[in-house]
Chains A and B, each alone.
Chain A
Amino acid sequence: MAGSRLQKIGSVFSRTRNLLRIGVIEKPLWFDVYAAFPPLREPVSRVPRPRYGKVKDVIPPIFYQEDQVRARFYRIYGSGPRPFDLSQLNYKSTCQRFVEKFNELKEEGKIEEEKLFEETGKALLAEGIILQRRGTDRVAQEDHQDVGSRDSAIHLQLRTLLEEMQEGKKDQKEQTPERAETQKEDPLPS
């Protein structure tokens, strides 16, 4: 029985069809089925060549409008009080409830844009979900994809540390001239 083992040339179907045409093979079981229902792409072997120059990412990133609210929520409150339970298909996390409340209040339109976030927190508190603040509330930035943005809590701690160190240095500088003065005064009377 003849056969064609050249998997790098053509597809399984093209090779079998050509062998049938010559007449060295008898029709396999799957041939008619493939001919009646061909796949969307012919299974021809391709070699993955490396890309040169600047590589463009053709896959678009997926972002939603609610992601801005979600990012702010996670920045301020951390991950919510309740852990995620992914075994349920229709599980709604604390963040998701926050986002839905935010959208509801936004549609009502009675509250201003800046106050909306705090109002949502208060509304959820009224419903019974206690949210503990983990970070400082920075002013909502336009670009949430800012790479240089750091955790505001750490910034605060560093700033306070720096201020304390500076105050400490000032105290030392005040103390040393006083000591110098006292030392200068001492030898004078002697």
Chain B
Amino acid sequence: MAVPRLLRAGERVVPGPARPGSVPPHPCDPRVSLPAAAPRLYSSVSAPVPVPVPAPPSAVDDSLLSKPLSHPDFFNLKELFSLKDLFNARVHLGHKKGCRHRFMEPYIFGCRLDQDIIDLDQTMEHLQLALNFTAHIAYRKGIILFISRKRQFCHLIESTARECGEYAHTRYWQGGLLTNAHIQLGSGVRLPDLIIFLSTLSNIFEPHVAIQDAAKMNIPTVGVVDTNCNPCLITYPIPGNDDSPTAMELYCKLFKMTIIRAKEKRRQREIFDELRRKAEGK
């Protein structure tokens, strides 16, 4: 008996009209498929239906999305802040020695009369990476969520989010907002693509639940970590002060400018591409 061939889409094993003189095969013969199952097992009887292949990324989309990634600082974010600005905004001031978290030790410069001083050189690098990541996410039209549980800055953060056109959550965090979103917020909800923590601790000085939830839902996070915070689960931590009003105003200003800059660039790019397409079309 011939080795059964691998069936390609659309082929039938059901025997055609019987030739005169031949014996019709027994229904239990393995070469014959059950006629009742035939329409179900094989995709179609006539010409094979082409499998929908995902559309290959067009040249336009490629340059729009991938070209910015080749520049180290596509949005020129290093001009937005300097070490002097961070120092004047008191970003380097940490908590007392007793409040220090073990995993923040690499980011601390020293201890002045029992108060931890954060290393601003490291903060500069981390801030540059974090702002760059935020800008690229905003450029790709991602949803950004600002979270902080500091009541002192709740209004500032909400107004910042409103001005950038993004979202903020500075109130009590209900358990399943990210992990149980489809039931609590309705089906078809789009979860944020980036979560920015302007303070990683909750009101009871414990890590905010949303850090763990974002890690569970595979959402990258950017967060300002003070000397008493745990920076492990945050994708892009920014070691810095999260208690002084000057420092928080600086962070809000930087994030707002980054997001607005990125969105402006995207808008300009799209208009430019459309004009070019029209010119080529003519």
Taking CB atoms and an 8 Å cut-off, the chain B residues in 193-234 that contact chain A are 193-194, 212, 215-221, 230, 232-234
Asked if B137 and A39 sit within 8 Å, CB to CB, the answer is no
- Give the Cβ gap from A39 to chain B, nearest Cβ, in Å: 5
Asked if B220 and A30 sit within 8 Å, CB to CB, the answer is yes
B174 within 8 Å of A by Cβ?
no
Asked if A59 and B234 sit within 8 Å, CB to CB, the answer is no
User: Which listed residue, B117, B132, B216, touches A37 by the CB 8 Å rule?
Assistant: B132
- With A39-B236, A43-B235, A62-B110 as known contacts, state yes or no: A33 contacts B216, CB within 8 Å: no
- Give the Cβ gap from A50 to chain B, nearest Cβ, in Å: 9
Asked if B129 and A37 sit within 8 Å, CB to CB, the answer is yes
Asked if B232 and A39 sit within 8 Å, CB to CB, the answer is no
B126 within 8 Å of A by Cβ?
yes
Taking CB atoms and an 8 Å cut-off, the chain A residues in 37-66 that contact chain B are 37, 39-40, 43-46, 48, 51, 57-62
Asked if B103 and A46 sit within 8 Å, CB to CB, the answer is yes
Interface secondary structure of B, over-half rule: mixed
In the bound assembly, the distance between CA atoms of A44 and B117 in angstroms comes to 25
Asked if B111 and A7 sit within 8 Å, CB to CB, the answer is no
In the bound assembly, the distance between CA atoms of A185 and B69 in angstroms comes to 113
Which residues on the B side are within 8 Å of A58 (C-beta)?
A: 105
Asked if B218 and A12 sit within 8 Å, CB to CB, the answer is yes
Interface secondary structure of A, over-half rule: loop
Asked if A3 and B217 sit within 8 Å, CB to CB, the answer is yes
A150 within 8 Å of B by Cβ?
no
User: Which listed residue, A33, A40, A43, touches B233 by the CB 8 Å rule?
Assistant: A43
State which size class the interface on B falls in.
35 or more
Which residues on the A side are within 8 Å of B102 (C-beta)?
A: 48, 51
Which residues on the A side are within 8 Å of B167 (C-beta)?
A: none
Interface residues on chain A, number (Cβ under 8 Å) = 33
Asked if B112 and A46 sit within 8 Å, CB to CB, the answer is no
Asked if A33 and B140 sit within 8 Å, CB to CB, the answer is yes
Which residues on the B side are within 8 Å of A51 (C-beta)?
A: 102
Which residues on the B side are within 8 Å of A30 (C-beta)?
A: 133, 137, 142, 193-194, 220
Type the 1/0 row for A110-135, where 1 means its CB is closer than 8 Å to any CB of B: 00000000000000000000000000
Asked if A12 and B232 sit within 8 Å, CB to CB, the answer is no
In the bound assembly, the distance between CA atoms of A30 and B221 in angstroms comes to 11
User: Which listed residue, B69, B117, B193, B216, touches A28 by the CB 8 Å rule?
Assistant: B193
In the bound assembly, the distance between CA atoms of A48 and B140 in angstroms comes to 36
User: Which listed residue, A15, A39, A57, touches B235 by the CB 8 Å rule?
Assistant: A39
Asked if A32 and B142 sit within 8 Å, CB to CB, the answer is no
Asked if A5 and B179 sit within 8 Å, CB to CB, the answer is yes
Asked if B218 and A29 sit within 8 Å, CB to CB, the answer is no
Which residues on the B side are within 8 Å of A16 (C-beta)?
A: 218
User: Which listed residue, B88, B97, B105, B193, touches A89 by the CB 8 Å rule?
Assistant: B88
Which residues on the B side are within 8 Å of A91 (C-beta)?
A: none
Asked if A48 and B103 sit within 8 Å, CB to CB, the answer is yes
- Give the Cβ gap from B48 to chain A, nearest Cβ, in Å: 23
Which residues on the A side are within 8 Å of B108 (C-beta)?
A: 59
A-B contact pairs, 9 of them (CB 8 A): A12-B215, A12-B220, A29-B140, A30-B194, A37-B132, A40-B126, A45-B233, A48-B101, A59-B97
Q: Which chain B residues have a beta carbon within 8 Å of chain A's beta carbons? A: 65-66, 69-70, 88, 97, 100-103, 105, 108-112, 116-117, 125-126, 129, 132-133, 136-137, 140-142, 179, 193-194, 212, 215-221, 230, 232-237
Q: Which chain A residues have a beta carbon within 8 Å of chain B's beta carbons? A: 3-7, 11-13, 15-16, 28-30, 32-34, 36-37, 39-40, 43-46, 48, 51, 57-62, 89
